[in-house]
Chain A
Amino acid sequence: MRVILRTIGELSITLGVVLLLFCAYLLWGTSAYTERHQRILQRQLVTEPATKILGKIQLGGAVALIKIPRLGPAYKYAIVEGVEDEHLRQGPGHYPGSAQPGEVGNFVVSGHRTTYAAPFNRIDELEKGDDILIDSREARYTYQVTATKIVEPTAVDVIEPVPGHPGKKADKAVITLSTCHPEYSARQRLIVFGTLTKTEERDVF
């Protein structure tokens, strides 16, 4: 009897330690993976000039850099093409089929909130009028935050060309960021909307 009780106790403690280790993995282990891939993607943006990329960016390729001054001068992530798990592990992902940076329509980007370096962890701090800078190979596009919203995971209208108006034809270039809400949960989504306010062409990245 004593042996059984002791074994159960030992197993319980072990399980607790394993769960703690898993939490540590979610916070730090997954970040190491993202940082490794971010280095590769950010290098891709420099070494593969726009002229070498004919037409659309391939799934898994680097789209642009996202910089948000409100979240600090060091805030910089390479956006990857695609929003499958494998893409979002590498950084914020661009919905294939949504507008390209600066293009008329909706440039939709999703990013992790708590795991995999948590690129969109603090986008809830964005306020109306804040800048979101998108540095693509050809230009810097400055979007200004117009609204933030919390929606259900099924609210696909936020990624329409005109957010909230399915089927309507776009006449403006807008950006939509999405991440999970509340933190550590998959219950809802936090959405940040913005509008293109400035385009600066450039010759070198």
Chain B
Amino acid sequence: MYGFVWRHLPGNTAAKLVGMLLLLGLAALFLWYGVFPWLEPRVALDEVTVG
């Protein structure tokens, strides 16, 4: 999976490394601001009210 991405990134090793980090960073941002806020209310690990 990562090998596939690595082979398809353009440029030399340094450019590939930058591209890879950029992709990982984007994925992390998407998770942090998109997926996690959506997911958090669905895992009830901090329910505080009664009734």
Contacts and interface: CB of A to CB of B under 8 A. Distances in A.
Given A21-B31, A186-B45, A30 B50 contact: no
B13 interface: no
A176 B34 CA distance: 35
Given A21-B28, A21-B31, A29-B36, A88 B41 contact: no
Interface string A135-175: 00000000000000001011110110000000000000000
Contact of A110 (B28, B31, B49): B49
A3 B50 CA distance: 51
Interface string B11-48: 00000000000000000100110001001110011111
Contacts of B44: 186
B8 to A, nearest CB: 15
B50 A116 contact: no
A150 to B, nearest CB: 12
Nearest to A86: B41
Given A10-B1, A11-B1, A22 B36 contact: yes
A184 B48 CA distance: 11
Please report whether the interface of chain A is mostly helix, strand, loop or mixed according to DSSP. mixed
Contact of B1 (A7, A25, A88): A7
Contact of A29 (B32, B47, B49): B32
Contacts of B10: none
Contact of A111 (B1, B3, B48, B50): B48
Contacts, number: 73
A85 interface: yes
Nearest to A85: B41
A48 B50 CA distance: 31
A28 B40 CA distance: 13
Contacts of A88: 48-49
B46 A113 contact: yes
A52 to B, nearest CB: 29
Interface of A: 6-7, 10-11, 14, 18, 21-22, 25-26, 29-30, 83, 85, 88, 95, 110-116, 120, 151, 153-156, 158-159, 178-180, 184-186, 189
Interface of B: 1-3, 28, 31-32, 36, 39-41, 44-51
15 contacts: A7-B1, A21-B32, A21-B36, A22-B36, A26-B45, A83-B49, A88-B48, A111-B48, A112-B48, A113-B46, A180-B45, A180-B46, A184-B46, A186-B44, A186-B47
